[in-house]
Amino acid sequence: MELFMRLLLMVLTIFHSTKSLKGDGSLVYDYYKETCPMAEDIVRHNVKAEVYRDPRLAASLLRLHFHDCFVMGCDASVLLDSVEGMTSEKLAIPNMNSLRGFELIDKIKYLLEQECPLTVSCADILALVARDAVVSRGGPTWMVLLGRKDSVESSINGANQFIPAPNSSLETLIDKFKTQGLDIYDLVALSGSHTIGRARCTSFRQRIYETKPEYHYGYDRYRRYTTFRRILRSICPVTGRDQKHAPLDFETPTKFDNHYYVNILEGNGLLGSDNVLISQDHEGVITEQVWAYASNQKLFFDSFAKSMIKMGNINVLTGNEGQIRRHCRFVNT
């Protein structure tokens, strides 16, 4: 019976994910086939070269796309610098001194403007870069729907409000994803992006020192893994070293795989928002999905790709909406 339920979950997950493959009808494949046929090659080549030089950058580029789409939609608002009358999302609490990769986006945009001026949007660059960053670390590929336009405004308030915190409860995570039109299947699949990258001490210090009763399940479960806990405490003492980092996945920190799900099943997830997927899952639906991904990397890769396509469709600007910026940091004058 248990095996049957897991197989059923896999089928339902795949069926659910495939419903979003065609997006909302506004974005299409091969959008630049006629207007800028080298666009995807230019993006792919530069991402591959930079990630080879700095493997950690792959996670940063993927994170840029997430943090863009969760604020006003996938419109490249996260790339805008502050100007008079508008404060950059880069200064929001989840982003400040944390987001990376802006220089590579600038470089790619410059090359694309040389190849085909005012044609490829910064929002589409972010979507392509996220896909190519995942592929560069051994993860799945997918056909990126294209045709987004760029926002002419940013929202620091939106960034502070809608981007999930690293210590979010499961209920909060579900609500924040639901606000973006994403469900629990997307939540679990997209959380797998934490199979690569690193996090600052400020993001997980509460996780390794919290002893309050309301955290007793996660704390007691976590406390048994004394070696892992001791390593993290040596990196991040109770105070100080806020900018020190630890890998989100200690086993394969630069490889995009399904080991993230193995980690949280063992209580070895780095962030509180990772471990709540099973520690606060009272109905067990999410836990079953975590088990399925931990047991079947192909299933995880398929689900992740489909949820990334779905996320990339959030509140996109198309047609006469927005603009194609000449420079991703500034609105066209």
Binding residue positions for substrate: 164
* 3 state SS of 79: helix
Give DSSP secondary structure letters for 275-319: HHHHHT-TTSHHHHHHHHHHH-HHHHHHHHHHHHHHHTTTT-B-T
Instruction: Output the six-digit token pair for 38.
Output: 């080298």
- Among residues 65, 67, 216, 327, the one annotated as catalytic is 67
8-state DSSP, 256: -
Q: Which residues are annotated as a binding site for Ca(2+)?
A: 68, 71, 73, 75, 77, 89, 195, 249, 252, 257
Task: Identify whether 282 is a catalytic site residue.
Answer: no
Query: Could you tell me which of 169, 247, 203, 187 has the C-alpha nearest to residue 66?
Result: 187
In whole angstroms, what is the distance from residue 19 CA to residue 41 CA? 28
Query: Is there a contact between 26 and 318 (Cβ–Cβ < 8 Å)?
Result: yes
Query: Could you tell me which of 121, 134, 110 has the C-alpha nearest to residue 68?
Result: 121
State the catalytic residues. Answer: 67
